[in-house]
Structure 1
Amino acid sequence: MFELSKSAIQKCKEELDCHVGSVVTDNAANVNKMRKLLEQENELKLVTYGCTAHILNLLAHDLEIDNIKEHVVNIVKYFRDNHYASARYRQEGEQRLVMPQDTRWNTMCNCLKTYIKNWPALMKICEVDREQIDVRVREKVSNLTLKRSAEDLLARLEPIAVALDKAQSDKCTIAEAVNMWKELITTLSNGRDALTAVRKRYDQVITQAHLLANLIHPSLQGKLLSEEVNNAMDYANERFPSLVPVIMKFQAKSPPFHAFKFSDFVTKSMSAVEWWRSHSNVLDSDVISAAQQLLSAVASSSGVEQVFSSYGIVHSKLRNRLGTEKAAKLVFLSKTINAHKMDVYDDTNDQDA
């Protein structure tokens, strides 16, 4: 994997004139080792780290309450697969019940939401049609302890689900991921076990590169880092020494970083990379390059996973003789066209608003 990654990075540089500055993967042991080997290659000058979305999914598993998932899934599965129960539910239920899927990480949260919201309808069916409904399902639906436990589990999982949706966006960077995890720590601070779990996962996924990116982000400015600022500066001194005095001016808002450049209007009108590029005429190119490398690093590998899904649609059983190069071009066109459609849709919504 190390050799394949290295050759792909070299190919990007030679054929596409594109410099790869960061590598994000899942957190399996073999790819963790690959990332370390890539980071040790001095000529590549890479920032490597694990996928935030993957760790958030693991955090959701850490916070599961014993047996609740199993019982809720049994109820949902019964009302989905049993002909009579399914027909009665369609008459009474407000929305379709959701079955959780391992490959779709937020579906457990959606399963709990639909179960709790439609619990009165399920309860009514079990009372009115008690002779036709399986007695074990009736007992589970009428079990108020199970319902309350499901509500407690949903309260734990919902903040993680919101963070997971953000992390899986192509635009979520490692700088923003730090604030996202900090907010999770605050939200889940009421439960000791939950707080311990989220801090453990935070330490697992947040690297010095994350902290430094957060520190130099024009709108985030490392405001939530506290003592971690020194950790970020140590990393900057080791990897990007020319960036250290610039960061100190950035923090002091001294020239060329005038106070008006940090206003909400300015920082929301452009990306963090564009903000730093606007200083190209007053800062050294290696400083701009370092800022761009850190601030363009995406938080998760979800974009690649979505490409795999698109590839599965293009290279289907009916089109299984497509060559690799042609299939890759078709996937590229598919993703580009869909992205364009989404941009048009967003623009239309903004005009309507």
Structure 2
Amino acid sequence: MHTGKQSFLLRTIDSGSDKKNAEYCLKCLKEAVDEVKEKYNSKVFAFCSDNEAKMKLLKEKMKEDDELKTIISYGCSAHYINLLEQEVTPNSILKYIIQIQKFFRNHHQPHGWLKEKGGLMPQIPNDTRWNSQQACINTFIQNYYKYVEIANEDKLEMSITNILSNPSLYREAQHLQKQLQSDTATLSIAVNEWLVLLESEVLDPYKANIRKRMEEATEPFFFVANMMDPQYLG
């Protein structure tokens, strides 16, 4: 729950054996809306979710529900940007970064050496944690020289040492880091970030991907918010 100034956790739900479909999510949403009204004497006016198929169906069902049809609903831009990151990141580079990250994360002794040198926990991309791909690249860059230092001590498998001995991998990781954008806090800023992505010369080859995700992520009221924001004024 977000009040406009601060976020609060309203509730978590153990769904147990219940089937987590659009109907179940609709029931949970109605209960949460009622709780906000009764417990905090407040009104829910907007609802943001991820962009999974059942959540898209949930938003359609909201339009048919007398209690929920006046609530503004939209998809999360952070989720759409995470999907975009997966589309624009060359797998030929990312696969080597992930191989290094997994090695230092999953092997006990190399992980211990990294920890002794003050390294960060290597992050691995996954579909459910938004911006995990960006976190993977960021932690690779921050740990890179520690990885190389450990490799130079002849402590690693030759396949890992060979990857780390390629200096272009670090440069490519830095290039990717500049391309990937983080999630934002308001609708107005979200519009601006999408426009920045569209106007980026570095991302010219991916303009169609960016435009597609932007159209999926934004609603007309996003642009109204942007036009009324003193930072941007449309």
What range is the shorter-chain TM-score in? 0.7 to 0.9
2:227 to 205, 211, 215: 215
Inter-partner Cα distance in structure 2 for 1:88 and 1:41: 57
1:217-260 deviation per Cα after TM superposition (whole angstroms, max 9, x unaligned): 4x24642xxxxxxxxxxxxxxxxxxxxxxxxxxxxxxxxxxxxx
1:272-298 deviation per Cα after TM superposition (whole angstroms, max 9, x unaligned): xxxxxxxxxxxxxxxxxxxxxxxxxxx
2:108 matched to 1:95? no
2:69 matched to 1:56? no
SS of equivalent residue, structure 2 residue 91: coil
Q: Which amino acid aligns with 2:198?
A: I
CA 1:82–1:192 in 2, change beyond 3 Å: closer, same or farther?
same
Give TM-score scaled by structure 1 length. Answer: 0.50
Corresponding residue number in structure 1 for 2:99: 74
How far residue 207 of structure 1 moved from its aligned partner, in angstroms, is 0.4
2:44 matched to 1:20? yes
CA 1:33–1:96 in 2, change beyond 3 Å: closer, same or farther?
closer
Q: Which amino acid aligns with 1:127?
A: N
SS of equivalent residue, structure 1 residue 23: strand
2:54 to 9, 27, 30: 30
How far residue 104 of structure 1 moved from its aligned partner, in angstroms, is 3.8
SS of equivalent residue, structure 2 residue 47: strand
Corresponding residue number in structure 2 for 1:142: 165
2:213 to 182, 195, 201: 201
1:180-229 deviation per Cα after TM superposition (whole angstroms, max 9, x unaligned): 3223333x333323333222211111101212222334x24642xxxxxx
1:156 to 176, 179, 184: 179
Structure number with the higher helix fraction is 1
Gaps of 5+ in 2: 1-21
Inter-partner Cα distance in structure 2 for 1:55 and 1:72: 23
Gaps of 5+ in 1: 224-353
Inter-partner Cα distance in structure 2 for 1:13 and 1:83: 50
Identity %: 25
Inter-partner Cα distance in structure 2 for 1:177 and 1:195: 17
The answer to whether the 8 Å contact 1:39/1:47 transfers is no
SS of equivalent residue, structure 2 residue 48: strand
Q: RMSD value over aligned CA atoms?
A: 3.0
Inter-partner Cα distance in structure 1 for 2:33 and 2:147: 54
Inter-partner Cα distance in structure 2 for 1:71 and 1:203: 32
SS of equivalent residue, structure 1 residue 202: helix
The answer to whether the 8 Å contact 2:84/2:209 transfers is yes
| Larger of the two Rg values belongs to structure | 1
CA 1:113–1:174 in 2, change beyond 3 Å: closer, same or farther?
closer
The answer to whether the 8 Å contact 1:85/1:133 transfers is yes
CA 1:174–1:120 in 2, change beyond 3 Å: closer, same or farther?
closer
Q: Which amino acid aligns with 1:74?
A: Q
Task: Count matched residues.
Answer: 208
Q: Which amino acid aligns with 1:194?
A: Y
1:305-329 deviation per Cα after TM superposition (whole angstroms, max 9, x unaligned): xxxxxxxxxxxxxxxxxxxxxxxxx
